[in-house]
């Protein structure tokens, strides 16, 4: 996309979020994904596809011939660069990836998949446009400007990790957490609305392109959405990517255990949803098409449901994706007379799905999720009651006020100077959880001095710790 032909990221007047319902905009946006492109553009893309396939065939033949030892070297034709993604100096999610005509037009064939490079580029275009659109919204407060979520040096609202992420995860959650730290600090992570992880399974070799799904993590809503058009739930006990538990472990390490405690990975706050994607036809190479559509729905604020799409509709969607790649991304609405607005899609200000009513389940109660094998006991016990606790000294005072519930809290090995705040807090939360879970008789002190008077039960006059916490 050249600076001269870039239009502001904006909706048409008839699709203004202030005057048009979110449902209506969402319905129109989802329908356009599967609507035919104009005939002139269609014919242009077909000619490009024929030319690029011929060039790639010559490229492949020359490469294969040159790989034979002792053969006379044949000049290898260069692929034509037709577009690029935003540079890092233009966008906070930009990578400046060059796209050849082969990268763009390969997916036009109904029996082909989508190259990983093309999937990554399309996801980058989606995140970049959504960030620009939200940055152009008028501020609800006239005295303040809308925070920029698009320019380099700012924190995006939407970000992604490429299809190479599976190579990072193969080295373990600790390595993945370290790589994520290079992208966003913990404070920046909590400013994201969505970060999309493209999950690639299977090898990408000649004639085989694996399978792609999306794990959409929303720090804003504290939800994890695993979207796979093959019906995989992503759990370790499943038959697919087996990655959801690894994301939980990665987030636990990445977010750490330092104050503020509300910014840790607290399992009691997070919810998970799987099998929400529309399903593709069996034996059709459409997984990447569905993955891109799912990302568009979430990033553009559309409802995540576009119905079963088959045959000519999937072909239309393929051509739309290839067209978007060829012209270097999306465009804002063009009010000019006769403008086709093929690359324009309406967005809404819709927040992430309401995790309480939209089929999300708390991860601690999610069926089949191996949370006990994935997260340490002190992580699973984390309680929102202590989010406001600023430091170890304050927690010590809390235990002192309620000493009959926290026996030996003042011992050096429990709360001493060398004991980290996180370890002391885990000890306190362990006692809180046991008091909620266990039934009498079980040993708990009840005297103000912390002793239990040789009794192994809590007397009737014992109460929950005082309401005053900090």
* Mean pLDDT, all residues of the chain: 86
pLDDT of 469 strictly over 90: no
pLDDT tens digit sequence for 241-274: 899 999 999 999 999 999 899 999 999 999 999 9
53 band by pLDDT with thresholds 50, 70 and 90? confident
User: Is pTM, for the whole model, over 0.85?
Assistant: yes
Q: What percent of the chain is modeled with pLDDT above 70?
A: 89
pLDDT of 343 strictly over 50: yes
Domains of the chain by residue range: 3-365, 383-470
Instruction: Check if the beta carbon of residue 197 is closer than 8 Å to that of residue 212.
Output: no
pLDDT at 403: 80
Instruction: Give strand ranges (E) for 81-193.
Output: 81-84, 98-100, 158-161
Q: In the sheet where 211-218 sits, what is the strand order?
A: 158-161, 194-201, 211-218, 223-227, 271-274, 361-362
pLDDT of 427 strictly over 70: yes
pLDDT of 5 strictly over 80: no
147 band by pLDDT with thresholds 50, 70 and 90? confident
Q: What angle do CA 39, 41, 47 make, to 5 degrees?
A: 105
pLDDT of 446 strictly over 70: no
Superfamily per CATH, domain 3-365: Adenoviral Proteinase; Chain A (3.40.395.10)
Poorest-pLDDT segment among 2-6, 29-33, 132-136, 256-260: 2-6
Poorest-pLDDT segment among 35-49, 149-163, 189-203, 403-417: 35-49
Give the burial class of 306: count Cβ atoms within 10 A of its Cβ; 0-12 exposed, 13-18 middle, 19 or more buried: buried
pLDDT of 357 strictly over 80: no
Mean pLDDT on 385-405:
90
Instruction: Check if the beta carbon of residue 37 is closer than 8 Å to that of residue 344.
Output: no
pLDDT at 252: 97
The three-class DSSP label of residue 98 is strand
Q: Name 435's Cβ contacts closer than 8 Å, sequence gap at least 6.
A: 405, 444
Instruction: Check if the beta carbon of residue 189 is closer than 8 Å to that of residue 217.
Output: no
Q: What angle do CA 131, 133, 137 make, to 5 degrees?
A: 115
First to last CA, the chain: 54
pLDDT of 283 strictly over 80: yes
Poorest-pLDDT segment among 51-60, 193-202, 334-343, 446-455: 446-455
């Amino acid at each position: 996309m050249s600076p001269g032909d870039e239009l502001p990221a904006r909706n048409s007047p008839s699709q203004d979020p202030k005057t048009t319902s979110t449902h209506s905009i969402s319905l129109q946006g989802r329908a356009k994904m599967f609507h035919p492109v104009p005939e002139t553009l269609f014919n242009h893309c077909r000619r490009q596809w024929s030319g690029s396939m011929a060039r790639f065939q010559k490229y492949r033949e020359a490469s294969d011939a040159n790989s034979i030892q002792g053969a006379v070297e044949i000049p290898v034709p260069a692929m034509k660069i037709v577009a690029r993604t935003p540079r890092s100096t233009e966008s906070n999610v930009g990578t400046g990836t060059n796209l050849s005509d082969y990268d763009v037009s390969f997916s036009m064939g109904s029996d082909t998949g989508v190259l990983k490079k093309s999937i990554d580029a399309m996801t980058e275009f989606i995140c970049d446009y959504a960030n620009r659109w939200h940055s152009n919204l008028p501020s609800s407060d006239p005295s303040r400007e809308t925070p920029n979520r698009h320019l380099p040096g700012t924190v995006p609202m939407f970000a992604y990790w490429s299809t190479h992420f599976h190579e990072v995860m193969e080295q373990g959650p600790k390595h993945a957490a370290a790589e994520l730290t290079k992208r966003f600090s913990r404070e920046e992570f909590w400013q994201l609305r969505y970060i999309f992880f493209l999950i690639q399974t299977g090898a990408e070799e000649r004639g085989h392109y694996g399978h792609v799904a999306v794990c959409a993590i929303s720090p804003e809503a504290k939800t994890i959405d695993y979207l796979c058009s093959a019906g995989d739930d992503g759990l370790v006990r499943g038959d697919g990517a087996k990655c959801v538990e690894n994301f939980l472990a990665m987030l636990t390490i990445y977010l750490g255990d330092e104050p503020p405690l509300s910014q840790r990975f607290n399992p009691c706050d997070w919810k998970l949803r799987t099998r929400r994607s529309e399903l593709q036809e069996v034996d059709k190479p459409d997984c990447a098409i569905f993955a891109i559509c799912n990302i568009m729905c979430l990033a553009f604020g559309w409802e995540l449901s576009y119905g079963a799409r088959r045959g000519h509709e999937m072909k239309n969607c393929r051509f739309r994706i290839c067209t978007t790649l060829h012209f270097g991304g999306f465009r804002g609405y063009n009010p000019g007379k006769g403008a086709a607005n093929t690359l324009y899609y309406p967005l809404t200000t819709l927040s992430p799905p309401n995790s309480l009513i939209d089929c999300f389940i708390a991860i601690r109660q999610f069926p089949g999720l191996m949370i006990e094998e994935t997260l340490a006991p002190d992580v699973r016990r984390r309680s929102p009651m202590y989010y406001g606790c600023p430091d170890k000294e304050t927690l010590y005072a809390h235990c002192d006020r309620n000493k009959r519930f926290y026996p030996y809290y003042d011992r050096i090995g429990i709360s001493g100077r060398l004991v980290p705040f996180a370890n002391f807090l885990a000890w306190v939360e362990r006692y809180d959880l046991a008091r909620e879970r266990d039934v009498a008789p079980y040993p708990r002190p009840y005297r103000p001095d912390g002793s239990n008077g040789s009794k192994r039960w809590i007397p009737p006059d014992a109460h929950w710790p005082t309401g005053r916490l900090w």
